[in-house]
């Protein structure tokens, strides 16, 4: 059988298709086998990873379980120790409670015994009082009244005798004494022996601050001394710096500036200059304010501003330990009051009294006495001649030819000479204290004596078996009388007699 071309082509195509199908099947089988092998390999790797993770997780769980077991064991041990401590404390508390209960019982017993003794003592006292009433024939109230009446009579008689003696003494010498006092005050010449404080002390928070005040190579202390004109003394005195200067205003400026620097803590030349300038302004304002207040207090009007400022500088000036501004105010008031009593010019007397020592504000920086400088200032700023003359005559530099000038001189002497206005020397002060104690201990039966309150009081401790209440009062009067006769002192001195009885018993 013969094949046609179409059959040949068809068979060829069929053969080719079969061949291609076979090749594709082979290729698919090979690829599929490779995929299966790859998947199998990845599955094995994943299984290995999961197995390793599982083992790691098991190890972690085991470690955590061991840690928790150890922690639980430690906590149980700690709880056991705490429980043991609590048991011990509970035992101690029980013991203390038992001890307190025993003490309370003991105290109750002692309290009952004390009540019993007190009742017995009250009965004994009552029996003694009844026996005394039977022997004396007087009741307790009657005996008290009788004793008080006799004491009142004795004291009244002694007081009347003292009053009569004093009245007679006063009548005999009153006129003569008054003339002597007035003559002495009016003719008294006060010698200028000024005892002033020339140093100020600034307290420091610590000794470390001294090094900061000195500064590197001393630049801080040199700057402060140069700007203020004050010497700084830094020695072994703990937590203190001493400022030395004869000008009280400069010393006050330096003190204020140093206190501000110490409080601020920043100490260097620039800061020092700022603080010194600030302190100068503050002190100048305070000086003017003090002068203005003094003029207003005195009722002096139309006073020149420069005089007010100079007057305020007296706030930092002392003479004989007395503040010169306060002294000037006192002189003005005294002169004004006397002028009003005798009909003189009150305004001139007050004005001259206030300005009489104004020269002392500048006598440390200018040549001349304080009187010459005061006259110069008053004349320069337009004060009346009557005021200038009173300033010039208050120390007898010229003869006083007006009543107001005499009054200012008198008021100055009274203000300066009154008791307590000016300081005693240390020697006189110590001698007065020694004399006070010597007078007090000169009597028999004195145990101790002390001069206290800077010599304004003497306390005398007596032996209680040698003095009763009446004799103690008499001793106080005798001591005060001797002090009046033998000592010169400012103000008053109080005499206190102490009679103390102490009774001690020991409860067993």
Question: Is 388 in the same domain as 316?
Answer: yes
Question: Is 402 in the same domain as 311?
Answer: yes
Question: Is 450 in the same domain as 489?
Answer: yes
- Burial of 304 by CB count in 10 Å (0-12 exposed, 13-18 middle, 19+ buried)? middle
* Count of CA atoms in the C-beta half-sphere (13 A) of 72: 6
Question: Is 434 in the same domain as 345?
Answer: no
Q: What is the mean pLDDT of residues 36-58?
A: 82
| Residue 410 located in a structural domain | yes
Q: Do residues 279 and 257 touch, judged by C-beta distance below 8 A?
A: yes
Rounded alpha-carbon distances, angstroms, from residue 422 to 161, 417, 419, 425, 426: 37, 8, 8, 10, 12
Mean pLDDT of the residues in the chain: 80
Instruction: Tell me what pLDDT residue 37 has.
Output: 79
| Residue 324 located in a structural domain | yes
The span from the first CA to the last CA of the chain, in angstroms, equals 160
* Spatial strand order in the sheet of 446-452: 446-452, 457-462, 494-498
The residues, ordered by sequence, that sit 6+ positions from 377 with a Cβ below 8 Å of its Cβ are 306, 307, 310, 358, 359, 362
Question: How many CB atoms sit inside 10 A of residue 114's CB?
Answer: 11
Q: Tell me how far the alpha carbon of residue 225 is from its chain's centroid.
A: 29
Report percent pLDDT > 70 for the chain: 89
Q: What is the mean pLDDT of residues 359-380?
A: 85
Gap between the Cα atoms of 109 and 106, Å rounded: 5
Give the pLDDT confidence of 305-347 residue by residue, as tens digits: 888 888 888 888 877 667 888 888 888 888 888 888 788 888 9
Question: Is 324 in the same domain as 388?
Answer: yes
Question: Is 409 in the same domain as 431?
Answer: no
Which CATH number is 467's domain given? 3.30.300.30
Output the six-digit token pair for 25.
């099947």
Higher pLDDT, 214 or 191: 214
| Residue 463 located in a structural domain | yes
Which CATH number is 378's domain given? 1.10.3210.10
Question: Is 456 in the same domain as 385?
Answer: no
191 confidence band (pLDDT: 50, 70, 90): very low
Instruction: Tell me what pLDDT residue 1 has.
Output: 46
Gap between the Cα atoms of 268 and 214, Å rounded: 10
| Residue 506 located in a structural domain | no
| Residue 477 located in a structural domain | yes
Residue 405, domain extent: 303-417
Question: Is 390 in the same domain as 434?
Answer: no
Question: Is 409 in the same domain as 492?
Answer: no
Q: Single out the residue in 396, 417, 438 at which a domain terminates.
A: 417
- Burial of 197 by CB count in 10 Å (0-12 exposed, 13-18 middle, 19+ buried)? exposed
Q: Do residues 445 and 434 touch, judged by C-beta distance below 8 A?
A: no
| Residue 91 located in a structural domain | no
Higher pLDDT, 42 or 319: 42
Rounded alpha-carbon distances, angstroms, from residue 74 to 65, 78, 88: 14, 6, 21
Greatest mean pLDDT among 25-39, 307-321, 344-358: 344-358
Instruction: Tell me what pLDDT residue 189 has.
Output: 31
Question: Is 438 in the same domain as 356?
Answer: no
Q: Single out the residue in 368, 394, 417 at which a domain terminates.
A: 417
Give the pLDDT confidence of 442-460 residue by residue, as tens digits: 888 888 888 887 677 889 9
| Residue 348 located in a structural domain | yes
Q: Do residues 245 and 254 touch, judged by C-beta distance below 8 A?
A: yes
Rounded alpha-carbon distances, angstroms, from residue 448 to 8, 440, 445: 163, 9, 9
Instruction: With a cut of 70, say whether residue 128 has pLDDT above it.
Output: yes
Instruction: Tell me what pLDDT residue 294 has.
Output: 86
Instruction: Tell me what pLDDT residue 253 has.
Output: 87
Instruction: With a cut of 80, say whether residue 259 has pLDDT above it.
Output: yes
The residues, ordered by sequence, that sit 6+ positions from 70 with a Cβ below 8 Å of its Cβ are none
Rounded alpha-carbon distances, angstroms, from residue 214 to 223, 250, 475: 10, 19, 60
Q: Single out the residue in 389, 417, 445 at which a domain terminates.
A: 417
Question: How many CB atoms sit inside 10 A of residue 418's CB?
Answer: 13
- The torsion region of residue 382 among left (phi > 0), alpha (psi -120 to 50) and beta comes to left
| Residue 228 located in a structural domain | no
Give the pLDDT confidence of 406-433 residue by residue, as tens digits: 888 888 877 776 555 555 555 666 788 8
Instruction: With a cut of 50, say whether residue 223 has pLDDT above it.
Output: yes
Question: Is 445 in the same domain as 400?
Answer: no
Q: Do residues 318 and 247 touch, judged by C-beta distance below 8 A?
A: no
Question: Is 307 in the same domain as 405?
Answer: yes
Give the three-class secondary structure for 175.
helix
Q: How many domains does the chain have?
A: 2
Q: The dihedral of CA 13, 17, 22, 23: what is its sign?
A: positive
């Amino acid at each position: 059988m013969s094949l046609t071309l179409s059959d040949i082509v068809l068979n060829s195509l069929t053969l080719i298709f079969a061949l291609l199908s076979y090749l594709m099947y082979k290729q698919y089988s090979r690829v599929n086998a490779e995929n299966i092998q790859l998947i199998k390999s990845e599955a094995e790797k994943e299984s290995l990873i999961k197995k390793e993770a599982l083992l790691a997780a098991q190890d972690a769980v085991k470690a955590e379980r061991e840690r928790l077991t150890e922690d639980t064991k430690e906590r149980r041990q700690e709880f056991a120790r705490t429980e043991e401590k609590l048991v011990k404390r509970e035992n101690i508390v029980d013991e203390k409670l038992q001890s307190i209960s025993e003490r309370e019982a003991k105290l109750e017993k002692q309290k009952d015994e004390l009540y019993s003794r007190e009742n017995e003592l009250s009965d004994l006292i009552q029996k003694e009082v009844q026996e005394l009433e039977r022997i004396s024939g007087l009741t307790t109230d009657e005996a008290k009244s009788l004793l008080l009446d006799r004491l009142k009579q004795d004291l009244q008689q002694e007081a009347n005798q003292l009053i009569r003696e004093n009245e007679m003494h006063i009548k005999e010498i009153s006129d003569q004494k008054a003339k002597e006092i007035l003559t002495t005050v009016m003719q008294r010449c006060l010698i200028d022996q000024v005892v002033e404080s020339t140093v100020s002390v600034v307290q420091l928070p610590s000794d470390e601050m001294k090094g900061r005040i000195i500064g590197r190579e001393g630049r801080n202390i040199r700057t402060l001394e140069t700007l203020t004109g004050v010497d700084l003394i830094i020695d072994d005195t703990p937590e203190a710096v001493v400022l030395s200067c004869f000008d009280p205003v400069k010393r006050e400026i330096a003190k204020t500036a140093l206190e501000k620097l110490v409080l601020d803590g920043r100490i260097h030349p620039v800061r020092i200059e700022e603080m010194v300038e600030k302190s100068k302004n503050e002190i100048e304002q305070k000086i003017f304010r003090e002068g203005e207040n003094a003029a207003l207090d005195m009722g002096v009007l139309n006073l020149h501003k420069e005089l007010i400022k100079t007057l305020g500088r007296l706030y930092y000036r002392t003479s004989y330990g007395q503040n010169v501004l306060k002294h000037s105010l006192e002189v003005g008031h005294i002169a004004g009051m006397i002028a009003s009593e005798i009909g003189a010019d009150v305004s001139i007397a007050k004005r001259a009294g206030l300005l009489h020592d104004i020269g002392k504000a500048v006598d440390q920086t200018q040549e001349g006495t304080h009187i010459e400088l005061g006259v110069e200032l008053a004349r320069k700023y337009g004060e009346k001649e009557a005021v200038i003359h009173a300033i010039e005559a208050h120390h007898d530099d010229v003869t006083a030819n007006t009543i107001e000038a005499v009054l200012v001189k008198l008021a100055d002497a009274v203000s300066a000479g009154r008791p307590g206005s000016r300081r005693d020397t240390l020697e006189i002060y110590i001698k007065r204290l020694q004399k006070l104690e010597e007078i007090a201990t000169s009597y028999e039966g004195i145990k101790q004596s002390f001069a206290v309150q800077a010599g304004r009081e003497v306390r005398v401790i007596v032996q209680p078996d040698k003095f009763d209440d009446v004799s103690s009062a008499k001793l106080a009067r005798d001591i005060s009388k001797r002090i009046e006769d033998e000592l010169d002192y400012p103000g008053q001195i109080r005499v206190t007699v102490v009679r103390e009885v102490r009774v001690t018993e020991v409860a067993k």
